[in-house]
Amino acid sequence: MAVDVGAMASSVRQELGPSLRGEVICPSDHGYDPARAVFNRMINRRPLAVVRSVDASDVVRTIAFARRGDLPLSVRGGGHSVAGSAVRDGALMLDLSGMKAIRVDPEARTVRAEPGLTLGGFDRATQAFGLATTLGVVSVTGIAGLTLGGGLGWLNGGYGLACDNLISADVATADGRLLRASAQENEELFWGIRGGSGNFGVVTAFEYQLHPVDRVLAGGLSYPLTMAPRVLRFYDDFVKAAPDELSTAASLALTPGGEPTVSIAVCYCGSIDEGERVLHPLRTFESPMDDGIQPMPYTELQSGRDEGFPSGRLHYWKSGWLREVTDGAIATLMEFVPQMPSPASGVGLQQMHGVASRVDPSATAFPHRAEQYDFLIMSQWSDATDSDRNVQWTRALFEAMQPHLEEAVYVNNLGDEGPARVQAAYGENYPRLATLKRTYDPDNLFRANQNIEPSTDPSSGEE
Ligand SMILES: Cc1cc2nc3c(=O)[nH]c(=O)nc-3n(C[C@H](O)[C@H](O)[C@H](O)COP(=O)(O)OP(=O)(O)OC[C@H]3O[C@@H](n4cnc5c(N)ncnc54)[C@H](O)[C@@H]3O)c2cc1C
């Protein structure tokens, strides 16, 4: 039987619309196409309707409406998941991007932030008071999905992951409640949202711990790819022994002229003088083509990579955790990087270090705690006719890197890769997460994500 999508969407507007402060956007509306678009242009999905919420009451009403009508639901924060889980064909798309309020408490060094904020908006607000917390490294990414999956950025060595800095969150759950989750209230839910990636409800506000961060010593060093064996081996040894204040990343890419390069980027968040001393060996062990390390405002660092990730491109990413930059891993990268089909692509090794690496793996739902790198192949291109060769190159490199990677993967980098990879993302915490899912979302309403299936064990599900 044919489903009249237009009629269904109109009934969403008629039945849900009047109870909202926000708006309902239907396929027949002018704004439908921009409202359903997400960062990755490979994703071209048509939701039943888009609900633009403006506050927690809109969120609670939309969840209740979806449940009553047995409608599939997806949730959009910043819309930057490369898997495109913010939007699903035929589902109600709950779009939080209009919820951008943020309030800093400079005395307590805390901030309350709504889930539609991007990193850039968040950092600008907290930096007005000389404060910051760990987020990611591209300022247009959403704080919500990033924090709920972990959140690895330039302050992770000194201050942990974004999720480690969460003090509390307001969570709208599948049964229509709005709960506060913290170390004192709904503790197990609080554990689960720090790495459980949106499986337990919709977060309508995050409260984070902030830290004094003013100017940082940051920037990059670059070398021709032929120097990769020496550069990456030195880098690996150096950064593992470095103080917590230093967070780093290495990357392999092509210059605009097509020359393959290897680069090291750093952020030292302690005193500039001490940072100069700490970084001296890294800056002098070889002569780089370019040394751009200098003191800079933290917001300048945070937006420094934005140009490389404009909206409107097609993306295909693959990732896994890398414990050691071995000769074999370097040889594989040196073989593949010069063949990269798109000069806009890159291979990144984002370091997990210091405080982030020392948290007990069971202390939060995010399980991957070690001195290691988030190895990420970020393929991006502009012309859809180039998709096949970019996807093929990415898969071939990922396959060739298998002997060097852990079986584990960071949930925020995962594509639609099947249940075994989802299990690998939640790791040893998966059974506890499945029990929690049974408690808070037994019917799996929140399944447009890297999904945790509710435990079927009847003895579980009690908090
Ligand atoms: C250019 C770029 C750079 C990146 N850099 C980093 C980085 O440096 N460090 C890092 O850790 N990650 C990084 N990431 C990965 C990033 O963490 C994920 O893409 C993350 O999902 C982005 O969050 P979002 O809110 O923008 O995404 P969305 O696509 O809106 O959401 C992602 C998932 O979270 C769920 N979700 C979103 N908001 C909520 C909410 N309020 N309540 C419940 N569930 C919600 C969605 O349903 C979806 O399943 C980067 C990604 C991109 C594209």
DSSP alpha helices (H): ranges in 219-336? Answer: 228-240, 272-284, 298-303, 327-336
Residue 463: per-residue pLDDT: 47
- 150 Cβ inside 6 Å of ligand 1: yes
- 171 Cβ inside 6 Å of ligand 1: no
Atom of ligand 1 nearest to the CA of 149: 17
- Atom 13 in ligand 1: residue holding the nearest Cα: 136
- 320 Cβ inside 6 Å of ligand 1: no
Identify the CA nearest to 216 among candidates 291, 165, 139, 158: 158
Taking the centre of ligand 1 as the mean of its atom positions, its distance from the CA of residue 76, in whole angstroms, is 9
β-strands 346-352, 246-254 pairing: antiparallel
Residue 457: per-residue pLDDT: 78
Residue 462: per-residue pLDDT: 47
Angle at 297 between CA 276 and CA 308, to 5 degrees: 100
Give the integer Cα–Cα distance in Å for 52 and 461: 32
The pick from 39, 53, 55, 75 for probing ligand 1's pocket by mutation, whose C-beta has the most ligand atoms within 8 angstroms, reads 75
Residue segments in the chain with a per-residue pLDDT below the cut of 50: 462-463
Residue 315: per-residue pLDDT: 98
Residue 166: per-residue pLDDT: 98
- 141 Cβ inside 6 Å of ligand 1: yes
Atom of ligand 1 nearest to the CA of 118: 26
The pick from 39, 42, 53, 81 for probing ligand 1's pocket by mutation, whose C-beta has the most ligand atoms within 8 angstroms, reads 81
Residue 5: per-residue pLDDT: 82
Judged by DSSP in three states, 227 sits in helix
Atom of ligand 1 nearest to the CA of 204: 41
- Atom 19 in ligand 1: residue holding the nearest Cα: 81
Residue 7: per-residue pLDDT: 87
